Structure 1
Amino acid sequence: MPKAASAERLKRKRSSSTHEKSTTERRKRASSTSSNESEDASAKILSMEEGILESRKNYNDLTILLSTANDFKNGGQESMLSTVVLCRIFIRLLTQGSLIAKKSLSEKDLFIVGWLKERFAEFKKILVTILQDEELATPALTLCMKTLKAEGEFLYDKDEYTFPRAFLREIVSSLFESENEDVIKAYVEEYVEQYDDIRYFTFNAVKHIVEKQEGNASPELFDRCFALLSALDGVPESADQLEDFFVPKPKKKTHNLRNVNQHKKQAQEAWLSLMTLVEEKDQRKQILNVISTVIAPWFTKPELLSDFLTNCYDSGGSMSLLALSGVFYLISERNLDYPSFYTKLYSLLDRDILHSKHRSRFFRLLDTFLASTHLPAAMVASFIKRLARLALNAPPGAIVFVTPWIYNLLKRHPTCTFMIHREVQDPEVKKQIEEHGVDDPFLSEETDPMQTDAIESCLWELVQLQSHYHPNVATITKIISEQFTKQSYNIEDFLDHSYATLLEAEMTKDVKKAPVIEFHIPKKVFTPNDGEADAEPDSLLVRLWDFGN
């Protein structure tokens, strides 16, 4: 019996081993068959390419290749190979002039040319559709641009410059709809920033796409248009800089493509069209963040930005802070008439400004706005007094900026130094002030900086800050009470301080002299006790009870 059981187990083991081997062999054969089929399909596609390029009789194979390429969702490698092959075929046909309807051609040849053009248009539609696919977007972009270059170079009459702008619009439109967001970045870096004609017609394409979607646009369209346009900050200054062309440049020097102002005009129209899509607060902030550095340099008529900027500036809050640089740019560079600019600027100095995350940016701009020595002393005094008053409740990181900034303004506007040193000549008035004090003439609720009477006041707030709990604040505020020997302070050294930076500065400071500490360690925290044996026990509760009675 044991021998029979052992033989049975051995038989089952051999049977199982044989089954596993047969399964593995079937899988190998299936894999080999699949691989062979793939190789056969690829070889067939390449064979079609050779046949089409050798003879017009094989042009019908274009429809097979187009069908395979269009099935890119399910077609795998064969679909992408068909797309690449079609790109090579059409570039060769374009180079040979096979898609140009010449007058010397027969009716039959003209029919073939028309048919090829239809297939070429179909191929371009497939390309821009593939461009929306997340995985295939990058190679599809390369094929699109190669096709566009060949079309612009060989499809049209060489005597007249013609750029395939319709195809480029389709490409840009598909980029905005693509699931692969990195493909827009690749398009900008590899083509738009490198070639002047691509940049010119991309601006034109953005304008037409936005106008077409007006009233029906999605938030994603704004985000992707903004990502593309905001990356283009290299503004050409002269026609000599327009020398890099993807498609051969026009021969006429008077052509719009060789005119700097026309390039700026296209950018201007693209940005203005994008601004029509702005509906949300965050979108406004995105534009305001780049308006003076990226957008305004493209505008031949920056005054067209005035409505957008003044609306943002008048809206108040952080929006006003962000709009400041743009409004000031228009005032200083384009003579924008905005008589209430400084009144609005003064209104931004509220109790929140010294706590705002935009504090550093705002004060950099404020320092620029008040840099002119031609400003009225009464207005400058109002800004000085307002900030000194706000500094009483400000964090230390903000106060260490306010004092040097006031110092610089006092040096720049000597008339305002009466606010820190005004001698009272009348002895009776002086005695009355010493006995009863004086009311501050500064009108803190006045909105017009010319009417606050700040010039008649004094900076007692800075004297109070000289007793601030933070030693850095107390020390730097004392510069107002000393001789003004320093020409000015570099504001950048004080702008970005916070609790963290002040603490770090203290922690890393070299200790020149050890601090004094207690020699005897007390045994009690709240009550004195010398620890002697005959001393009466001390009780905090008893002492508090006695105090109450």
Structure 2
Amino acid sequence: MAGKTCASKSSVKEIKLWTQEFLNDRKKSNNLLNIVVTIEQSTTVEVQLAGVRALHKILQHLVKNGELYSEHPDQEGDSAADKYRSWLRCRYDECVQQLLGLLHNTSSSVQELALCTLMKLVKAEGEYPIQKLTTNQLPFPKHLLKEIYCRLTDDGHDMGHLITRFSEYLQFDDVRYFIFKMLLPEIQERQKKKGQENLLVQRVCDYGQLWAWDKLEDPLSNLYCSLPDPEAQIKLNSLKEHRKLFTGIWLEFLRNSLSTSLYKKVLVGLHEKVMPNLTSPLLLSDFLTQSYNIGGAISLLALNSLFILVHQYNLDYPDFFKKLYALFEPGIFHVKYKARFFHLADLFLTSSHLPAYLVAAFAKKLSRISLTAPPHGLKLSIPFVYNLLTRHPSCRPMLHRPGGPSDVTADPFDAAEPDPAKCKAMESSLWEIQTLQSHYFPDIALLAQKINSNLPTTETTLTDLLELSTRELFQRQAKKMAKDVPMNYNPPKGLLQYKDDKMALLWNL
């Protein structure tokens, strides 16, 4: 073990010496080959890291000093300088390929250092082009960025952690623009190949979750490479061009058949990460309305994005509240996205312009499913109903309806009716809340008793109740200190306390 450590230290010293000699003396150019061979043959992380750092210094030096520049890289000149430059170009390409190979290294530290080195080379080539550019060619090294992108998205390797590291570069407008340019045709092409859709859409979603832009102003100015030609920055600085590419990618992506888990992952971030950056969010209308019609958790997650289209972009969707009403089922208290659902439902029912029959239907439906809800769900549903009654005084007759049905089976409310306009909630009463006054959990019983005469005059904030769980309720109860503890302060004189208690003869108290 000690011998291996000494060998590693010796190799690291050699690499540093070779690097310094290469930078100082052109006659030591073969040192670059020694560094490449050492990296290939070594399995020690320290040696590989030292080799990557050495390549970074050498390659950056070659690019910035113009030693790789050639007007015709495919044609080798006859002079010694041309031959040397051609040799350096070959070695440069070999080193880049070795760095790309290290992206699949078993060591995460080697992977990350190789990625950072490659991205620094992208920056260097963008600012100091290594070949003559045509009139319409941008100096940004798209070929190198594409090589990096292909390695990161290799189907045979799990590169999730390295993609997360790469996401730091997507904040730069030019890097993001060219990634878009690469991704869009690949989606269109691979959709034609059967058996590759799942890997493709997963990849796009992984990148898509990283494309969360801040509020950008046109023209864009956060470039990774300071391009020498200002006219070449026109497209890269155009927010319109970025959004056009971004929109095309997501529309192509959403045409795929998504697995349930991927479907949920997309819908969770769609309203925040995708919609604000589309050329027109209304392009998602068909996708969101179809998602809303699926039912279950998919419908629940599509709520937010669909409401934004209705509220902010004037999407005509007359069945919105009818679909929302259908989501109020007993299972809503047990789903993963319960907090999100009740937060959105409370937001959707805030408007005072909603008809009374609609609000009454939601209040009655929620009261009915609350009869079988767990305590942590009731701590949320009862204040939710109170808020509806506070916002809409026209629904108050549901609290005290004289001459109402004496039998529960005579309740005019039709729980099986999917249309809130036909369920006859306004003709019914909220006897379910009164029933909960006899709940086994004392806090629920006290909360339900407010419906008698002390109905809140102001709305209750639901924020602290959205994430409430049964475990938290138990912890709160366990911390309570009882003030009055019932006890029998008179000593018993017998088992049954009768005058002629014969049972007392059998036990000695």
Structure 2 letter corresponding to 1:334: Y
The structure-2 alpha-carbon separation of the partners of 1:449 and 1:467, relative to structure 1 and needing over 3 Å to count, comes to same
Report the Cα distance in structure 2 between the residues aligned to 1:67 and 1:245, rounded to whole angstroms: 32
2:190/2:200 contact within 8 Å kept:
no
Match for 1:201 among 178, 187, 191? 178
Q: What's the CA shift for 1:79? A: 6.5
Q: What's the CA shift for 1:385? A: 0.9
Report the Cα distance in structure 1 between the residues aligned to 2:41 and 2:112, rounded to whole angstroms: 14
Report the Cα distance in structure 2 between the residues aligned to 1:75 and 1:477, rounded to whole angstroms: 68
Report the Cα distance in structure 2 between the residues aligned to 1:75 and 1:472, rounded to whole angstroms: 63
Q: What's the CA shift for 1:507? A: 3.1
1:288/1:322 contact within 8 Å kept:
yes
Indicate the SS of the match to 2:373.
coil
Indicate the SS of the match to 2:63.
helix
In structure 1, the partner of 2:466 is: 495
Listed as ranges, the gaps of 5+ residues in structure 1 are: 1-26, 424-429, 540-549
Report the Cα distance in structure 1 between the residues aligned to 2:158 and 2:196, rounded to whole angstroms: 17
In structure 1, the partner of 2:37 is: 68
The structure-2 alpha-carbon separation of the partners of 1:120 and 1:217, relative to structure 1 and needing over 3 Å to count, comes to farther
**Where do 1:185-334 residues align within 5 Å?**
185-189=164-168, 191-193=169-171, 195-211=172-188, 213-214=190-191, 215=193, 216-217=195-196, 225-239=204-218, 242-249=220-227, 251-252=230-231, 255-275=234-254, 279-334=258-313
Report the Cα distance in structure 1 between the residues aligned to 2:7 and 2:70, rounded to whole angstroms: 44
Indicate the SS of the match to 2:429.
coil
The structure having more radius of gyration, on CA atoms, is 1
In structure 2, the partner of 1:12 is: none
What is the identity percentage for the equivalent residue pairs of Structure 1 and Structure 2? Answer: 29
Match for 1:410 among 361, 375, 389? 389
The structure-2 alpha-carbon separation of the partners of 1:95 and 1:439, relative to structure 1 and needing over 3 Å to count, comes to same
In structure 2, the partner of 1:352 is: 331
In structure 2, the partner of 1:509 is: 480
Indicate the SS of the match to 1:124.
helix
Report the Cα distance in structure 2 between the residues aligned to 1:33 and 1:325, rounded to whole angstroms: 61
Structure 2 letter corresponding to 1:239: D
Deviations 1:490-515 (A, max 9, x none): 1224333333333333333354x413
CA RMSD across the alignment: 3.9
1:163/1:247 contact within 8 Å kept:
yes
2:59/2:92 contact within 8 Å kept:
yes
Report the Cα distance in structure 1 between the residues aligned to 2:144 and 2:62, rounded to whole angstroms: 18
Q: What's the CA shift for 1:168? A: 0.9
Q: What's the CA shift for 1:238? A: 0.6
1:69/1:75 contact within 8 Å kept:
no
In structure 2, the partner of 1:439 is: 410
In structure 2, the partner of 1:456 is: 427
Report the Cα distance in structure 2 between the residues aligned to 1:137 and 1:147, rounded to whole angstroms: 15
Asked if 1:145 corresponds to 2:128, the answer is no
Q: What's the CA shift for 1:404? A: 1.8
In structure 2, the partner of 1:544 is: none
Deviations 1:411-467 (A, max 9, x none): 2222222222345xxxxxx5xx68889922212111111111111111121222222
Q: What's the CA shift for 1:269? A: 3.6
Listed as ranges, the gaps of 5+ residues in structure 2 are: none
2:436/2:448 contact within 8 Å kept:
yes
Q: Greater CA deviation, 304-313 or 439-448?
A: 304-313
Q: What's the CA shift for 1:253? A: 8.9
The structure-2 alpha-carbon separation of the partners of 1:212 and 1:335, relative to structure 1 and needing over 3 Å to count, comes to same
Deviations 1:194-219 (A, max 9, x none): x3322333343444555555445486
TM-score by length of 2: 0.82
2:63/2:125 contact within 8 Å kept:
yes
2:413/2:425 contact within 8 Å kept:
yes
Q: Greater CA deviation, 384-393 or 406-415?
A: 406-415
The structure-2 alpha-carbon separation of the partners of 1:111 and 1:213, relative to structure 1 and needing over 3 Å to count, comes to farther
In structure 2, the partner of 1:49 is: 22
Report the Cα distance in structure 2 between the residues aligned to 1:492 and 1:514, rounded to whole angstroms: 33
Deviations 1:268-318 (A, max 9, x none): 344445445653211111112211122222222222333333333222112
